[in-house]
């Protein structure tokens, strides 16, 4: 599904929308938004005759065992993720893992990845990069993780990507400015694909001044550090 | 641009094709395929009246200085990459870096990333992953790099992604089977988006047998290892 409220034509190839019609069963993160997406995407069957299985951070391994049963009957099963790519910083991986183990063909489709959009626009090294998920919440643990990632970014020229709970974004940027070496690059990529999109790469020392001008509070943001 | 010879509608959102019309200057990896792509995508202006700047692995920093001059005149400049996303395992990063330094807005568009397609379908951990580019060619250096990446994959639960020159793919898979612990997962993702697409995740010990059945020679392949 799209990352934000953008038009489907801005983030999904037309083929994805056509392929929806080949599935009568979907594994989804949230029922309501999945139904809304299918309607918006022109899904040709009645939503009430469509099977949905929930897969989110609360789903247990035991629950998902039967989610692929329709495949044994020769049908396709669709995997839909909220805001971005299934399995990338997303719970969908539990089901592709089972599919791979059972020898079921998994067909990935092109779609929006906030991590890749941020990396593309950052100007930081895209020949080597790592996504690290969320940093620790505890202040001193977070500082030591930031130092460790900076060290790796420098030694291996590997851009380090991470995210934060949106209501802690401003604090994270402050911590980055405090902990990182003055000339380490920080890219802040906010509201990707939205009209308010903001993507800026500056050294840590320049962010010290710049960050007063940007409010990241409750805006989905990808952070990148590198050289 | 698409990764393979697939339909544009399979890997590019319709909006990307429409946005081409907002650019009269393009920075491209290869002139001939860029022209062919623009024609195929319905670019509405005569190709001969369009400005092209070359940006590939041979381009020097000095050459690209003037590539963004049209932006000072209030125009857009498009960045087109062969087979995949600009700046991700791709030379395009040189120009986005300059744009960020000059405070020029960089607008990333959704498109196909073989790395993300492979990761999505692999069943390996997508909460933490790293792309490492090419491994060393020298046999013993390659083995020690594989061991180092396996160690990191285990200790940090970070999926390690890498690529190889396509004519050395079979040798790399052999090396992985030999060097990795028997229960380490290897995903081989080949010919992504093509009709011959093949994506398989198995333990190193299972690949020992399986690899006789798959010829990766000269087929674009993404390799992933993890738990």
- pLDDT digits over B35-92, tens only? 999 999 999 999 999 999 999 888 888 888 899 999 989 999 999 998 888 888 888 8
Where chain A has pLDDT below 50, the residues are none
How high is the pLDDT of residue A59?
87
| Residues of chain B contacting residue A107, judged by C-beta atoms under 8 Å apart | 121, 197
Mark yes or no for CB contact A201/B100 under 8 Å: yes
Closest CA to B149 of B135, B137, B138: B135
Give pairs for A135-142: CB < 8 Å, separation 24+: A135/A162, A135/A164, A135/A172, A137/A168, A139/A175, A142/A172, A142/A175
Residues B154-172, mean pLDDT to the nearest whole number: 96
How high is the pLDDT of residue B132?
97
How high is the pLDDT of residue B5?
72
Quote the CA–CA distance of A110 and B12 in Å, as a whole number: 8
- CATH number corresponding to B8-102: 3.40.1010.10
Across the interface, of A9, A106, A123, the residue whose CB is closest to B96 is: A123
How high is the pLDDT of residue A63?
86
Quote the DSSP letter at residue A136. P
Q: Is the pLDDT of residue B204 over 80?
A: yes
Beta-sheet strand order (sheet of B23-28): B51-54, B23-28, B76-80
B97 contact A CB<8A: yes
How high is the pLDDT of residue A71?
93
Residues linked to residue A76 through DSSP beta bridges, in sequence order:
A23
Distance from CA of A130 to the nearest CA of B (A): 4
How high is the pLDDT of residue A89?
84
How high is the pLDDT of residue B3?
87
CB-based burial label for A2 (10 Å; 0-12, 13-18, 19+): buried
Residues B22-26, mean pLDDT to the nearest whole number: 95
Give how far Cα A216 sits from Cα of A135, A192, A196, A201, Å. Answer: 17, 12, 11, 15
How high is the pLDDT of residue B165?
92
Its ipTM equals 0.95
- CATH number corresponding to A114-226: 3.30.950.10
How high is the pLDDT of residue A86?
86
Angle between helices B139-155 and B169-179 (to 10 degrees): 60
| Residues of chain B contacting residue A131, judged by C-beta atoms under 8 Å apart | 128-130
A87 contact B CB<8A: yes
Mark yes or no for CB contact B96/A121 under 8 Å: yes
A199 contact B CB<8A: yes
Q: How many CB pairs under 8 A join A and B?
A: 173
For CATH 3.40.1010.10, the residue range(s) in chain A are: 8-102
Q: Which helix (H) or strand (E) holds A186?
A: strand A185-190
How high is the pLDDT of residue B89?
84
A146 contact B CB<8A: no
For CATH 3.30.950.10, the residue range(s) in chain A are: 114-226
How high is the pLDDT of residue B79?
95
Q: For the whole prediction, is pTM greater than 0.90?
A: yes
Closest CA to A191 of A214, A221, A161: A221
Q: Is the pLDDT of residue B183 over 80?
A: yes
B4 contact A CB<8A: no
């Amino acid at each position: 599904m799209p990352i934000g409220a953008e038009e489907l034509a801005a983030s999904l190839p037309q083929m994805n929308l056509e392929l929806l019609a080949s599935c009568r069963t979907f594994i989804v993160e949230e029922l309501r938004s999945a139904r809304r997406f299918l309607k918006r995407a022109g899904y040709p069957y009645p939503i009430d005759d469509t099977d949905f299985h929930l897969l989110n951070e609360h789903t247990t391994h035991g629950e998902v065992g039967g989610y692929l049963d329709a495949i044994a009957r020769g049908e396709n099963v669709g995997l839909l993720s909220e805001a971005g790519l299934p399995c990338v910083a997303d719970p969908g991986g539990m089901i592709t893992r089972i599919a791979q183990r059972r020898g079921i063909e998994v067909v990935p489709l092109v779609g929006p990845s906030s991590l890749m959009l941020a990396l593309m626009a950052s100007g930081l090294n895209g020949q080597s990069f790592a996504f690290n998920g969320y940093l620790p919440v505890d202040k001193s643990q977070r500082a030591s993780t930031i130092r460790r990632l900076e060290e790796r970014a420098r030694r291996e020229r590997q851009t380090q990507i991470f995210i934060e709970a949106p209501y802690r974004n401003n604090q994270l940027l402050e911590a980055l400015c405090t902990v990182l070496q003055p000339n380490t690059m920080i890219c802040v990529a906010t509201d990707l694909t939205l009209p308010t999109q903001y993507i800026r790469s500056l050294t840590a020392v320049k962010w010290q001044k710049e960050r007063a001008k940007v409010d990241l509070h409750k805006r989905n943001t990808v952070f990148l550090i590198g050289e």
